[in-house]
Structure 1
Amino acid sequence: MHLLLVGAAPVTAADLSHELRGHGFEVGVVDSGAALLATTGLPDLVLLTLDLPDLDGLEVCRRLRARSQVPIIGLSGRDSELDRVLGLQAGLDDYVTGPVRVRELVAVIGAVMRRVRRPAGEPAVAAETIVHGSLHIGLRAREVRVGGRRVAVTPKEFDLLALLASEPGTVFSRRRIMAEVWRDSSGRGTRTIDTHVRALRGKLGAHSWVVNVPGIGFRLGSDR
């Protein structure tokens, strides 16, 4: 899998690309937003530093998104809710705050690629929505509908539901859910998952939408 790291400081870029290569990725590096926008052969995924030396990172994201559906993960030292919302509205697929922890970044890359991956020959629109029975999850719009009814969910509830729906039938361990949704690889604090599961079941209208597998974790269910 080919990644393109954009706009990181030279030392950071060297260290981060070295560690990502150690995880099996091919990593290219460009030092500016202009260089990214001038790139013709885009990679499998872009790691876009939002504090670029030449252009506004969100504007670069918008321009790239206007011509390509390549997955984009934003890297930034800013961690406010507003910064995250603006990044997602600009077209980012996810947002990682610094200092970047490589194991966390690798988990986020995996989660993003699961959301956007589609079978060969399938229309690109399929990457925008997960459909499971009456459940429709709009990944880019971050919208959930059940039987045509829009369901208001929190950001973490959405991330949890999208993760379970990314691999229907797969049982996700509590540790994996914490790592990919809450970016906590310590294995602690998993009771927060139960809180979010209860809320999701209530909002989706059926306890059966999120199935508890005792001793392991959770999987996506159905409305039956």
Structure 2
Amino acid sequence: MRVLVVEDDNHVMAALRTVLAKHGFELACARCAAEGLDLLDTAPDVVLLDLGLPDRDGFKLCTEIRRRSDVPIIIATARGDLASRLHGLNIGADDYLVKPYSLAELIARIHAITRRAARPQPPAETVTDSYVYGQLRVEPHTRRVESAGHPVNLTRKEFDLLLLLMRSPGVVVRRERILSQVWNTNWQGNGRTLEVHMASLRGKLREPGMIETVRGIGYRLTPADREPAALVAE
């Protein structure tokens, strides 16, 4: 598996070279955004992206990579605030890891994200297939979402989350099932990633009461026959 690492810290790069190579990964290393874009042509299986680059902000590089390719992107950075996490996921990153992180966790996330990307897609749904819940409409075949007739732009993971909930309105979808179907993993270390994606999804739908957190179990679309329940803080 080929990993494109975009990282300007020599110590971090050296550690990644040693550990990832030991686990059978092939590395392409870039120390700035320009090198990262050049090496994107080598068709990596995943991109590990730092945000503090000398020639361009990592968020801008993430946007450009996503414009050019569907390659899975993991942002690995010291910026751990919620706003940065949400922004990174909203512009196309598939995962977000805050430094300092465990290299074992990084390797687990790389495997999880690449399994998800490589998993065969289900057969296309009929062109008439759609899910409607209140003012929300989701079309799986076009991956289009509308709320009150207005388009809602979601990332791939956000769309997959919403579609999973839309297929079982009013039914609690367990966290384990969400991690399995959206992230293709049962590893509970991805729980924080799930919470960040869910927060972003709620913000984009502009109806935070629509998705209810069932403490310790999972999430569900608020049953249509009653008022939205009070949300549990993430």
For the aligned residues, what is the CA RMSD?
Answer: 3.8
Deviations 1:45-80 (A, max 9, x none): 110111111101010111111110011100110111
1:163 aligns with 2:164: no
- Tell whether the 8 Å contact from 2:166 to 2:221 is kept in structure 1 after alignment: no
Q: Which runs of 5+ in 1 are unaligned?
A: 127-135, 184-193, 206-224
Distance 2:13 2:88 in 1: 21
In structure 2, relative to structure 1, the CA distance for the partners of 1:160 and 1:54 (3 Å cut) is farther
1:117 aligns with 2:127: no
- Tell whether the 8 Å contact from 2:7 to 2:49 is kept in structure 1 after alignment: yes
SS of the residue corresponding to residue 142 of structure 1 reads: helix
Question: Which of 208, 211, 215 is the matching residue for 1:195?
Answer: 215
How many residues of Structure 1 are paired with residues of Structure 2 in the alignment?
Answer: 174
In structure 2, relative to structure 1, the CA distance for the partners of 1:61 and 1:150 (3 Å cut) is farther
- Tell whether the 8 Å contact from 2:33 to 2:53 is kept in structure 1 after alignment: yes
Residue of structure 1 equivalent to 2:206:
none
- Tell whether the 8 Å contact from 1:50 to 1:57 is kept in structure 2 after alignment: yes
Q: Which runs of 5+ in 2 are unaligned?
A: 126-139, 144-153, 194-213, 224-234
Distance 1:159 1:82 in 2: 23
Distance 1:92 1:160 in 2: 22
Q: TM-score, normalised by structure 2?
A: 0.62
- Tell whether the 8 Å contact from 1:4 to 1:46 is kept in structure 2 after alignment: yes
1:74 aligns with 2:72: no
SS of the residue corresponding to residue 92 of structure 1 reads: coil
Aligned residue type for 2:180: L
Distance 2:78 2:174 in 1: 24
Residue of structure 1 equivalent to 2:190:
180
In structure 2, relative to structure 1, the CA distance for the partners of 1:103 and 1:158 (3 Å cut) is farther
Distance 1:8 1:100 in 2: 17
Residue of structure 2 equivalent to 1:221:
none
In structure 2, relative to structure 1, the CA distance for the partners of 1:150 and 1:77 (3 Å cut) is farther
Residue of structure 1 equivalent to 2:2:
2
Aligned residue type for 2:215: T
Shift of 1:162: 3.4
Aligned residue type for 1:181: G
SS of the residue corresponding to residue 65 of structure 1 reads: helix
Distance 2:182 2:82 in 1: 25
In structure 2, relative to structure 1, the CA distance for the partners of 1:150 and 1:81 (3 Å cut) is farther
Distance 2:155 2:115 in 1: 11
Shift of 1:13: 0.1
- Superposed, 1:1-224 pairs within 5 Å as 1-39=1-39, 40-119=41-120, 140-143=156-159, 144-145=162-163, 146-147=165-166, 160-165=176-181, 172=186, 176-177=187-188, 179-182=189-192, 195-197=215-217, 199-200=218-219, 202-203=220-221
% identical aligned pairs: 32
- Tell whether the 8 Å contact from 2:116 to 2:183 is kept in structure 1 after alignment: no
Distance 1:159 1:61 in 2: 28
- Tell whether the 8 Å contact from 1:49 to 1:76 is kept in structure 2 after alignment: yes
Q: TM-score, normalised by structure 1?
A: 0.64
SS of the residue corresponding to residue 42 of structure 2 reads: coil
SS of the residue corresponding to residue 43 of structure 1 reads: coil
Residue of structure 2 equivalent to 1:218:
none
